[in-house]
Structure 1
Amino acid sequence: MTNKPTILIIYTGGTIGMIKDYSTNALKAFDFSQIVQKIPELQQLNCTIKSISFKEPIDSSNMNTSYYVAIAEMIENNYDTFDGFVVLTGSDTMSYIASALSFMLENLTKPIIFTGSQLPIGDLRTDAKENLITSIEIAAARKNGQPIICEVCLYFEYKLYRGNRTTKISAEHFEAFASMNYPPLAESGVHLNFNEHHLYVPKNYQKKLIVRKKLETNVVILKLFPGITQAVVASILSIKNLKGVVLETYGAGNAPNEQWFLTLLKNAIKKGIKIINVTQCSGGSVILGHYDTSVGLKEIGVIGGLDITTETAIAKLMYLLSENLSDDEFSSYFNKSMRGELTNR
């Protein structure tokens, strides 16, 4: 590493990259190659900043796994040149992307900070400048010659979170994200304070980055609700080539214990479909067998997701399904914290 950290901004699209043409009131894309000139405050940061962008910036609603790979490859191709990365995306799917990248980037020893904004960077009251400036500061932060952050994170409204622990909770407040089951990694106030005992610390900084680019997309999220019918569950579980299901259950992992429901799940599992039980609650954990209404799920081979978020469960499912694992290996890896995404019991 050089004495002055080099940070690469990767712009994929999203609200943060928009400025308003005040003559027409229309929003247009911001030129991130001019970032330091447009936001002179960045010159006060003790780092060198470069930027690259998607050729065609995308709305976060159009995000898919091919774009995940594109972001991962941008990091891979620049990994040895830069000391840290700030990835700008639309906030709507940011938790999904950050979660996926946490699994795709193995042996990570540098910071990957996702951020965005609720208002465009050119707006008078924008939250974009603070989010961007502090994200760069975090990416450049070092201690004893090593980066303080060595994982995929998400920074928004004065808080840095582990990316695969986050959920978007508000479409209009600046405080758009929460991490219900894991504390913030850093908080920005008068000082930038890192909660160091919550950070991931690599065991070996010399390991080569491995980028996993295969993701299984034949997966689905099935959210339970009172009155869900046999026909609905049956039609979802009979989707052609379906490989995995994230089952959003009630409370601590509870679901109907009616025979038709358990039989449908059991038959799907027999066909090799992996079913992961996550809670619909914003916080807390699945504890299979804790109540009678989850005993049946445990007996037929549904995998308890512990305190993993839905966003991370779908990302981890996509990742593990592409790794050609045995049933026992799959269950073992899913129940194990691989990137700090769940709390091992």
Structure 2
Amino acid sequence: MKHILMLATGGTIASRETGQGLAPAITSREILGYVPAIGELCRVETIQLMNLDSSNLGPSHWLRMARAIEEHYDRYDGFVVTHGTDTMAYTAAALSYLIQFSPKPIVLTGSQKSICLENTDARMNLYNAFLYAAAEGSRGVSLVFDGKVILGTRARKERTKSFNAFSSVDYPEIGVIRDGRLIRYLPALDAKESPDFYHTLEDRVLLLTLIPGMGTEALAALEDSYQAVILQSFGVGGLPGGGSGPFAQAVERWLQAGKTIVMLTQVPYEGSDMAVYQVGYQVKEKYRLLEGYNMTLEAAVTKLMWVLGRTRDPEQVEALFYRPVQWDIIR
């Protein structure tokens, strides 16, 4: 029987009503007590790593999760991380970069309603996460939710209340769980005998979403505070004014200051292609900036943090950013 470690971090699955809204308060052992059938799938131990609303989680917590998995990696056959849904896609992507080529599964799950409620998705999601973690051939970082198994770099929360909250963006679900049975759609991820663990992230990454008529004042004001900016532009990608407008001039200042710029689309599906229109083509030809193509926002943000945590050299940044990790980018 597989031996699985559960790392509890808080979130809705662990929440109780406080009179001022829900807040995490249920312990990891209490969570497991609601789903005794998990004991038929595997042996389980648990660590209460933290108990936070996922809105309060960030890079320091992702590093803490990765360190905990690294410290216990040799003692267990897999890991389940219970987590709030609001930033779970960011955490899944971050762990995909911090723990690469894992031959063991690292599975994130949570719920839209607390596990202590009668009408909740928490118990089934938790059971399915352990089912997948205990299954032969499961490996790498994934998110299990509403019966879907989604790569950690491809998950996105698209619904705030419905049980089918997460989708796999521009990449198929790697499997589904129906009536207690795992059906794999895609072969297992590449793995090595021992995973590659990383221990640094650069958290000074800014996301700026463009809107029609927007000026460049924010870019100028924030230049000294951030090491990189992701510009979330329109459609397949471009900047107002093309290669000679004020946005292009602001981009040039950032690049001259040694900063990194990534262009990403605001459109959820099908990605960017800056070569299609003049407003994108001119910018891409003139400046050495990166393009996210069909990466999710969550993957682009966390990959940039991982890359800049390793190097600031522009050539190395470009090479690492474009190197696929868990099918995060397809060019």
Q: Please report the TM-score for the alignment, with normalisation by the length of structure 2.
A: 0.93
Native 8 Å contact 1:217 1:318 kept in 2: yes
CA offsets 1:114-136 (integer angstroms, 9 cap, x no match)? 00000000111100000000000
Native 8 Å contact 1:98 1:152 kept in 2: yes
- The yes-or-no answer on 1:17 pairing with 2:14 is yes
AA aligned opposite 1:90:
G
AA aligned opposite 1:177:
F
Native 8 Å contact 2:263 2:289 kept in 1: yes
Q: Which residue of 1 aligns with 2:4?
A: 7
Q: Which residue of 1 aligns with 2:141?
A: 152
Q: Which residue of 1 aligns with 2:247?
A: 261
Distance 1:263 1:222 in 2: 16
- The yes-or-no answer on 1:320 pairing with 2:316 is no
* Aligned-residue CA RMSD (Å): 1.9
Aligned partner (choices 35, 45, 70) of residue 50 of structure 1: 45
Q: More deviation in 132-141 or 300-309?
A: 300-309
AA aligned opposite 1:267:
R
Query: 1:26 Cα deviation (Å)?
Result: 8.0
SS at structure 2 position matched to 1:164 = coil
Distance 1:78 1:166 in 2: 26
Query: 1:61 Cα deviation (Å)?
Result: 0.8
Q: 1:16 to 1:267 in 2, by over 3 A?
A: same
Q: Which residue of 2 aligns with 1:209?
A: 195
Q: Which residue of 1 aligns with 2:154?
A: 165
Aligned partner (choices 49, 53, 63) of residue 59 of structure 1: 53
Distance 2:11 2:33 in 1: 21
Native 8 Å contact 2:15 2:22 kept in 1: no
Query: 1:310 Cα deviation (Å)?
Result: 1.0
Identical amino acids, percent of aligned pairs: 30
- The yes-or-no answer on 1:280 pairing with 2:266 is yes
Native 8 Å contact 1:109 1:151 kept in 2: yes
Q: Which residue of 1 aligns with 2:185?
A: 195
Any stretches of 5+ residues in structure 2 without a counterpart? none
- The yes-or-no answer on 1:83 pairing with 2:77 is yes
CA offsets 1:301-337 (integer angstroms, 9 cap, x no match)? 1211111111111101111111125212211221221
Query: 1:39 Cα deviation (Å)?
Result: 2.1
Aligned partner (choices 231, 244, 253) of residue 247 of structure 1: 231
Q: 1:303 to 1:119 in 2, by over 3 A?
A: same
Distance 1:27 1:275 in 2: 37
CA offsets 1:2-59 (integer angstroms, 9 cap, x no match)? xx111111101101113579xxx987722322555432222332x11111112x4111
Q: 1:84 to 1:292 in 2, by over 3 A?
A: same
Native 8 Å contact 2:99 2:196 kept in 1: yes
Q: 1:102 to 1:26 in 2, by over 3 A?
A: closer
Aligned partner (choices 168, 191, 197) of residue 179 of structure 1: 168
Any stretches of 5+ residues in structure 1 without a counterpart? 143-147
Q: More deviation in 294-303 or 7-16?
A: 294-303
Native 8 Å contact 1:246 1:310 kept in 2: no
SS at structure 1 position matched to 2:120 = coil
Distance 1:152 1:57 in 2: 21
Q: Which residue of 2 aligns with 1:40?
A: 36
Q: More deviation in 289-298 or 84-93?
A: 289-298
Distance 2:84 2:292 in 1: 27
Question: How many residues are matched?
Answer: 325
Distance 1:177 1:212 in 2: 27
